[in-house]
Chain A
Amino acid sequence: MPENTAHPGVPGVPHIEFRDVVKKFGDNTVLDDLNFTVTKGERVTLIGPSGSGKTTILRLVMTLEELTGGYIDIAGNPLQYEEQGGKRVRIPDKRRRRTTTDIGMVFQHFNLFPNMTVMENIIEAPVNVMGLKKAEAEAKAETLLDKVGMGWKKDARPSELSGGQQQRIAIARALAMDPEILLLDEVTSALDPELVGEVLAVLKDIAAETDISMLIVTHEMQFAREVSDRVMMFDKGSVIEEGLPDKIFSEPENQRTQDFLRAVL
């Protein structure tokens, strides 16, 4: 495993761009006028106390949540809304799905399909969304399963596997769509402590071997430090401090960042 898997990213090319993003759940404002960009190939980790809106950001990029205000662009294309003649226009679901085809997400609770085998889980989207032939999709899936060390379980069902195994398969399933952006939402939080390592090891490999842009929410600060190019500290829906991981973790400037890190490290 490489000592430092940090990836510099391609400066200046915005891959994910949040512009004046507002997200409310009822009267509760979770994100208030948020602006940031992730450049192509960059790995950005979001940290902060729970309820600070980190997961909401990932869910907005995956279109699992509807934007209340503002815009999100993916590689220059509007994701949920676009500006047309000064008006904010909702983008239809079909067009949204064309954009999200390039985005993969790994969930806290894996969310594998229990009615399918491991192999079926992985090839479902490549065959039906990307239009791959079944044999092609299977060959690709086998390569990915070997990469996450789960090739020997391709005919098993999710219920027969441990949490760590299920999560590694969920990672393979996301990668099978050749995503340009990968969203990792607290992917080790639901795992027994002894299973966290195997999942993080797989993710570190992927970070080192690919140039997929990543937006990561995690409580594994050591992992964040190793794979991230940039760390953003969130509190109450806005970025209160951001910078290189070494800087944020070693000498945070903001008082709230200091308090948060003292509590979790």
Chain B
Amino acid sequence: MDGVIGFLQDLGPNLQLVLDRMPLILDGLQVTLLTTVLGALLALVIAFVFGLAQLSKVMIVRGVARVFVEFFRGTSLVVQLFWLAFVLPQLPYPLGFRLEPLLVGVLALGLNYGAYAAEVVRGSIGSVPKGQFEAISALSLSPARGMFRVVIPQAWALMIPSLSNLWIQLLKGSAIVSTVLLYDIFFQVEQLRDRTGTWFAYSFALLAYYLIAWLIVILMNGLEIRAKHQIGRGPALRTAWRSLFQAPGTTPSGGRTARVVRDRSVAASGTPMGGGLA
């Protein structure tokens, strides 16, 4: 049944099989999307908490954050997942408890990728020009106020491309949650494989992950365009929707997408177009 010939020969029946199993496959898709979205949200929270903690003036806070980040960055995702699923329930009372499989998956993905993202947050804040921090001091704004009103909004625009990368990696990493009894898309594909063979099943899986990754890319491109516009770099999202489908900041053959502005009144009303801080 395998091989290219087999793949082509059985394409019709196999597609029929996919249709028959669609309810299960959609269930799997839902689990994958859920772990990917919840895992990413948890990772984002962890990233900001531990990214900012690493910049704290208090040495102990910095130290704890550092150890946390290095621990979850430096240990394997699979091991973390298995530890949460199989070791945690065996710990003596009151430490041990059994978590729902979904929670195990979200927690492992969130902790692991959150640790990577914490480094992105820390790095991006370090990339905000020194003059911005000096202006905060010169206006006697408190460091916390300056961080949330001035520094983070600028760092956000810088960190999105890296966060986007990490989110796609998290999506792909989510395929291992099937090992702790979460019936995600990969689990359903494995079921499908029994009937269709490896060629069809894994090709179907590639396509499914590719399409989800694409959704993430479009969403993150949108966020990046918006964030850059808010710090005065690049056009507004409503005038530059086309660049959702290409990496922001690249200039296609047609020139900057901002030139696509049809409605002159929008341009005249003071919408910044292209340019930058120069």
Contacts and interface: CB of A to CB of B under 8 A. Distances in A.
Interface stretch (A45-53, A77-85, A157-165, A210-218): A157-165
Interface string B141-163: 11101000110011000000000
Contact of A64 (B137, B270, B278): B137
Contact of B141 (A63, A115, A125): A125
Interface string A108-119: 010111111000
Given A155-B270, A159-B272, A109 B131 contact: yes
A259 B232 CA distance: 44
Contacts of A64: 134, 137-138
A177 interface: yes
Given A159-B275, A159-B276, A111 B132 contact: yes
Interface stretch (A25-33, A99-107, A131-139, A222-230): A99-107
Interface in B253-278: 270, 272, 275-278
Given A111-B134, A115-B150, A125 B139 contact: yes
Interface residues of B, number: 27
Interface in A125-182: 125, 128-129, 155-160, 173-174, 177
A114 B139 contact: no
Contacts of A125: 139-141
A123 to B, nearest CB: 11
A62 interface: yes
Contacts of A236: none
A97 interface: yes
Contacts of B140: 97-98, 100-101, 125, 129, 177
A124 interface: yes
A142 B149 CA distance: 22
A156 B268 CA distance: 12
B122 interface: no
B239 interface: no
B138 A174 contact: yes
A159 B233 contact: yes
Contacts of A158: 232, 277
B137 A63 contact: yes
B276 A156 contact: no
Contacts of A100: 137-138, 140
Given A128-B145, A155-B270, A160-B270, A115 B230 contact: yes
A231 to B, nearest CB: 24
Contacts of B154: 114-115
Contacts of B138: 62, 64, 100, 103-105, 107, 111, 174
A107 B272 contact: no
A124 B149 contact: yes
B142 A97 contact: yes
B231 interface: yes
Interface string A46-79: 0000000000000000111000000000000000
A30 to B, nearest CB: 17
Contact of B277 (A124, A129, A159): A159
B88 interface: no
Given A114-B154, A116-B149, 7 more contacts: A64-B138, A104-B138, A107-B135, A115-B231, A128-B145, A155-B270, A159-B277
14 contacts: A93-B143, A100-B137, A103-B138, A104-B138, A111-B138, A112-B135, A114-B232, A115-B154, A116-B150, A125-B140, A155-B270, A158-B277, A160-B232, A160-B272
Interface of A: 62-64, 93, 97-98, 100-101, 103-105, 107, 109, 111-116, 124-125, 128-129, 155-160, 173-174, 177
